[in-house]
Amino acid sequence: MSEPTVAEATNRIYESLHADNADIDMHIETLKAALTRAGLKEAIFDPARLVQNNRSGRKLMQAYFRQRGVTVKFAAS
């Protein structure tokens, strides 16, 4: 089985967020490993795909991911 790409890991996080954060920590670790393999320093998320697309929701997501070692940025709408 091949390792997931950054895009696949990001999609799993979107799915997890829509499923009330089911297995979110596992998906964050997968994303972290995919970012390392790709040589990237941050994950880019589309704010339109988030459950809570408001400032406090985005800041909460950034803080949670940062505690787990992943820097989150949001794509411009």
φ and ψ at residue 67, rounded to 5 degrees: -65, -25
What average pLDDT does range 45-50 have in this prediction?
95
- For the cut 90, the answer to whether the pLDDT of residue 24 exceeds it is yes
- For the cut 70, the answer to whether the pLDDT of residue 43 exceeds it is yes
Contact 43, 65 (CB under 8 A): yes
Mean pLDDT of the residues in the chain = 95
The predicted structure's pLDDT at residue 77: 59
Question: What percent of the chain lies above the pLDDT cut of 90?
Answer: 92
Here the tokens at position 52 are 């809570």
Q: Rounded to an integer, what distance in angstroms lies between the CA atom of residue 16 and that of residue 37?
A: 22
Q: Where are the domains of the chain?
A: 6-74
Q: Please tell me whether the overall predicted TM-score, pTM, comes out greater than 0.85 for this model.
A: yes
